[in-house]
Amino acid sequence: MAVTVTTMQKMKQAGDKITWLTAYDYSFASLIDNAGIDAILVGDSLGMVMQGHATPVPVTLEDAAYHTACVARGASNCMIVGDLPFGSYQVSKEQAYQSAVTLMQAGAHTIKLEGGELQVETIRFLVERGIAVCAHIGLTPQSVHQLGGFKVQGRGDAAQQLIDDAVKVEQAGAFAVVLEAVPAALAKQISERLSIPTIGIGAGVDCDGQVLVLQDMIGIYPKKSPKFCKNFMYGSASIEAAIERYIKEVKDRDFPALEHSFS
């Protein structure tokens, strides 16, 4: 049975950890889907791991739609989350809607966009028009130049802003929220406060689910991977076995461990 927004809500309520991975092509999407992943994120991380850019900023909507269509041909059981690229949703709610339509017509079931309070009206606008939206707060890679690099977010006085962002995107109708590079204790607090699932990436084991970039997870990205990543190919006989191991370790709360988290 296909994984849906309702499936993930029930998983949170049951305390069953949710597993996401990125994919950008037919072959890997099929492999990941067959391994039993809950969702594939066609992330704008493709700008780095597929196109060789230093950030996701150069990714276009056309790029995202192309890779979403490739993934949709390979995945038939998991949820497909299409990532709205930089510049495709910030101008207006109407622009965001048209961009979301493009990704959904390419095969995405839901879409993801970066930003908390600033995106509340856009999230509400999309949800009211039948589009399931995942928010993304904490380290938002599309804003990497404004943030001064890929840095942990939400420490000290900034913690309350992240809590407020999380609450507001939930109130706007987001079905889930990605927490990236957030102190584990803060992510736990947010996860306990929200009724929607939190999907962590560098946000500790207490998030309702986890997501990693596939190329980091199997150790084929040629540049240095973030601290919160783990190479699951070590000790695995195949890529499929590595993916199955990732799923099991997330479900069993063995990943992320302390060394993959921030304080």
Is 90 exceeded by the pLDDT of residue 86?
yes
The mean predicted confidence, pLDDT, of the chain is 96
Is 80 exceeded by the pLDDT of residue 72?
yes
Q: Is 83 flagged in the annotation as binding?
A: yes
d(C-alpha 234, C-alpha 185), whole Å: 29
pLDDT band at residue 1 under the 50/70/90 scheme: low
Which pLDDT value is given to residue 144?
Answer: 82
* Chain position carrying tokens 């079931």: 109
DSSP for the chain, please give it: ----HHHHHHHHHHTPPEEEEE--SHHHHHHHHHHT-SEEEE-TTHHHHTT--SSSTT--HHHHHHHHHHHHHH-SSSEEEEEPPTTSSSS-HHHHHHHHHHHHHHT-SEEEEEBSGGGHHHHHHHHHTT--EEEEEES-GGGHHHHTSS-----GGGHHHHHHHHHHHHHHT-SEEEEES--HHHHHHHHHH-SS-EEEESS-TTSSEEEE-HHHHTT--SSPPPTT---TTTT-SSHHHHHHHHHHHHHTT-SS-GGG---
- Tokens encoding 132: 């399931």
Task: Summarize pLDDT for 159-191 with one digit per residue, the tens.
Answer: 999 999 999 999 999 999 999 999 999 999 999
Q: Is 112 flagged in the annotation as binding?
A: yes
Which pLDDT value is given to residue 152?
Answer: 84
Q: What sign for the dihedral angle of Cα 6, 12, 15, 18?
A: positive
Q: Is 252 flagged in the annotation as binding?
A: no
Over residues 209-216, mean pLDDT = 97
Which pLDDT value is given to residue 146?
Answer: 82
* CA terminus-to-terminus distance, the chain: 38
Q: Is 45 flagged in the annotation as binding?
A: yes
- Hey, what domains does the chain have and what are their CATH numbers? 5-260 (3.20.20.60)
In percent, how much of the chain has pLDDT > 70?
99
Is 80 exceeded by the pLDDT of residue 83?
yes
Active site residue 170: no
Kindly name the residue from 117, 180, 240, 259 that is annotated as catalytic: 180
Strand partners, 41: 22, 81
Q: Is 195 flagged in the annotation as binding?
A: no
Q: What is the pTM of this model?
A: 0.97
- Tokens encoding 38: 């809950």
Give the residue among 260, 205, 203 at the shortest CA–CA distance from 232. 260
Over residues 82-101, mean pLDDT = 98
